[in-house]
Amino acid sequence: MTAIIQTIETPDGAFTILADDEQRVLASGWTAEQDEILARLTVRSRPVDVSKGQTDAAAAALAYYSGELTAIDDVRVAQFGTEMQRRGWAALRTIDPGEPLTYTDFAAALGQPSAVRAAASICARNAPALFVPCHRVLRTDGSLGGFAWGLDVKESLLAREAAA
């Protein structure tokens, strides 16, 4: 598989997008380091050839940061995982901006209310950050929990969405 990588500047810093030849986002995050983006994918799902270029998703990310919070909703993604992970990633895309869920609520939404750790793991293994908004899931006590790209970025995204 071949892929295109692009880094854009956002209010939260450099944001890099890795997309396949069909313009589906494979991985993304707040870094300018290509290796950090590739590391979000399993070895067997990493593209063989990566070149710098323009991604369709970059315009959606910039629109999101300009206040069009739903601009990321239609960006196509490609994710590789178990059936439960794929269901979880699809469910993350249904969480409305400004209305975060707890990990407990997220597990219940997946039909497995006792699988809170599995729900948290689905978030942790989410490679196309922002486009699959795992940042919209919080701890039961309302605290941020974890985020691969740093709690400051998660807090910024949630504040942007709450203000809208």
Give the residue numbers annotated as catalytic, written as ranges: 134
Tell me which residue of 66, 48, 60 sits closest to 6, measured CA to CA.
60
Contacts of 12 (CB under 8 A, 6+ apart): 30, 152, 153, 156, 157
Q: Using alpha carbons only, how large is the chain's radius of gyration in Å? A: 15
Strands 137-138 and 101-102: parallel
